[in-house]
Amino acid sequence: MDRRAFLATAGAAALSPVAGCLDGGLSESEYDVGMSANAFLPDSHEVAVGETVVWGNNGSRKHTVTAYESAIPEGAAFFASGGFETTTAAREAWEDTGAGNIAPGETFAHTFETPGSYGYLCIPHEPKGMVGVVEVSE
Ligand SMILES: [Cu+2]
CATH number at residue 128: 2.60.40.420
Please indicate, yes or no, if residue 100 is contained in any of the structural domains: yes
127 C-alpha to ligand 1 centroid (Å): 10
Please indicate, yes or no, if residue 13 is contained in any of the structural domains: no
Please indicate, yes or no, if residue 6 is contained in any of the structural domains: no
**Each residue's pLDDT expressed in tens, for the chain with a length of 138 residues:** 455 554 444 444 444 444 444 456 899 999 999 999 999 999 999 999 999 999 999 999 999 999 999 999 999 999 999 999 999 999 999 999 999 999 999 999 999 999 999 999 999 999 999 999 999 999
Please indicate, yes or no, if residue 69 is contained in any of the structural domains: yes
Q: What is the pLDDT of residue 135?
A: 98
Please indicate, yes or no, if residue 1 is contained in any of the structural domains: no
121 C-alpha to ligand 1 centroid (Å): 8
Measuring CA to CA, which residue among 51, 71, 77 is closest to residue 118? 71
As a whole number of angstroms, the distance between CA 107 and CA 119 comes to 18
What are the two backbone dihedrals, phi and then psi, of residue 130, each rounded to the nearest 5 degrees?
-85, 85
Q: What is the pLDDT of residue 57?
A: 96
Q: What is the pLDDT of residue 24?
A: 65
Measured between its terminal Cα atoms, the distance across the chain in Å is 49
Please indicate, yes or no, if residue 28 is contained in any of the structural domains: yes
DSSP H helices, 69-123, are 87-97
123 C-alpha to ligand 1 centroid (Å): 7
Cβ(72)–Cβ(119) below 8 Å: yes
What are the two backbone dihedrals, phi and then psi, of residue 121, each rounded to the nearest 5 degrees?
-140, 165
Domain carrying residue 118: 22-137
Q: Work out how many domains the chain is built from and give that number.
A: 1
As a whole number of angstroms, the distance between CA 106 and CA 98 comes to 15
Q: What is the pLDDT of residue 23?
A: 58
125 C-alpha to ligand 1 centroid (Å): 4
